A = this chain, B = another copy of it.
Amino acid sequence: MIMVSDSELQKKLASLGIEPGDEILVASGERELKGILIPHHEFSDHGIITVKLGSGYNVGVKASGKTRIELLKKAVASPFGKQKRGAEHAAKSELRRVAFAGTGGTIASFVDYRTGGVFPAMDAAGIVSLVPEISRICSLEGRNIFSVFSENIGYEQWCVLADEIADRLNEGYSGVLVSHGTDTLSYTAAALSFMLPRLSGPVTIVGAQRSPDRPSFDGYLNLVSAARISSSSDIGEVVAVMHASSSDRGCNVHRGTKVRKMHSSRRDAFRSVNAEPIAFVDDEIHFLSDYRKSAPGRVRADTRMEEEVALLQFYPDMDARDLLKWADGKKGVVVAGTGLGHVNSGLVDAIGKLTGEDVPVVVTTQCLYGSVDLNVYATGRDLIKAGVIDGRDMLPEVAYVKLRHVLAHHSRPGDIRKAMMNNAAGEFNDRRTGLDEF
């Protein structure tokens, strides 16, 4: 079987009038596939045709000279297609307008078949053309505001995103849908939760654990579900919308300050920790717990954050000298202690030294599930005496983001403590005790 080159393949598709998004038939020997043609990208240079099947799975077929390709149905133009062609703005339709902000990550990436690696590449238009169902839910309009792997996302990008979200909501969009790599998605969700204290519409952050070129691309369902939340819910919070289970049954809507990536590779990697999800979404939105409602009015992004904050996990034999050295130059430290929030006795003294120098130390638990409680054991009470701030059931990562935000807004120790103990964005959940699963 002679493989065709990518340029030959593209010529063949063009000659048949086939464009990405069209429904096509690909027949190769006895194998016959029907699905939607996925856009070509610069690295897929081995003459591979990738189609999205009715099941939502993507399949790549190596085209040979004998491969038969047929156009079955032209695609309905996506909102992005319309924009590109200068057609009338989708706002005139009856669908609600949702702003899109792409940031990169797997949800906007593809497989390089030469190396087997995955690279970020597609722009927002490309993503939407992969998920035509979105155009039945809302009019999605927007752009990639940057395109990076999320492990490289930090304060700089949080500011750009927060400003972008505020601008779009103030322009009258129903909600904002942010695509994001999954690695640090929950950190960004927390940062935006603190930076955007009042929202006039839902902000959904969505990622994918499988790239669009792969079978079982989870971004499909995640994007559809996020579009639903962004356009037709009254949630006034930053939420992450990700697979609720390993099946494609639906997505969970997680509060931005309670969500964590708990698995490196599963599609249902994201979990609400010490909280129920806000909602489960399939064809409808099923609310599971309380949430802050969106409220009309101007959205303001309060993006100031302190740079010099450290997040440190306590472990056996961790040395007081190390802690003091590592905290040197820091304006605040979050410690992920063991159990109810403990460290060894040497570290208790070191922490007392830090708080004595007005470096706030927030204690969280490395268990992740459950709450800090410094009143049960002697070590906890010693930590209270040493002046720590009780992180309660806040995730260590959320405490890190919150402390950065608080330190940029307060300088007096009492004010910092008060601000850290204030439940600013649902980061504390006093109802967690009833949770059956963790």
* Contacts from A to B (Cβ < 8 Å): 115-119, 149-155, 182-184, 187-188, 191, 261-266, 269, 307, 310-317, 322, 325-326, 336-345, 365, 367-373, 375-379, 381, 396-397, 400, 438
Contacts and interface: CB of A to CB of B under 8 A. Distances in A.
A12 to B, nearest CB: 31
Q: Please indicate which of the listed interface residues A264, A266, A317 has the most CB atoms of chain B within 10 Å of its own CB.
A: A264
Contacts of A182: 339
Contact of A187 (B115, B316, B373): B316
A342 B149 contact: yes
A365 B264 contact: yes
Given A154-B317, A316-B187, A262 B311 contact: no
Task: Please give me the 7 A-B residue pairs with the lowest Cβ-Cβ distance, nearest first.
Answer: A264-B370, A183-B338, A154-B317, A183-B339, A154-B316, A151-B342, A263-B369
A362 to B, nearest CB: 14
Q: Please indicate which of the listed interface residues A345, A370, A372 has the most CB atoms of chain B within 10 Å of its own CB.
A: A370
Contacts of A336: 313
A157 to B, nearest CB: 9
A315 B311 CA distance: 8
Contacts of A154: 316-317, 344
Contacts of A341: 264
A369 B119 contact: no
Contacts of A269: 367, 369-370
Contacts of A377: 117-118, 149
Contacts of A263: 367, 369-370, 438
A369 B264 contact: yes
Contacts of A311: 313, 315
A344 B151 contact: yes
Nearest to A376: B118
27 contacts: A116-B375, A117-B376, A117-B381, A118-B376, A118-B378, A151-B337, A151-B342, A152-B344, A154-B344, A183-B338, A183-B339, A184-B338, A187-B315, A261-B338, A263-B367, A264-B367, A265-B340, A265-B370, A266-B369, A266-B370, A269-B370, A307-B317, A310-B322, A312-B313, A313-B336, A315-B397, A315-B400
B152 A264 contact: no
A373 B311 CA distance: 24
A251 to B, nearest CB: 18
Q: Please indicate which of the listed interface residues A371, A376, A397 has the most CB atoms of chain B within 10 Å of its own CB.
A: A376
A160 to B, nearest CB: 14
Nearest to A381: B117
Nearest to A186: B338
A244 to B, nearest CB: 14
Contact of A316 (B155, B317, B325): B155
B315 A261 contact: no
A137 to B, nearest CB: 29
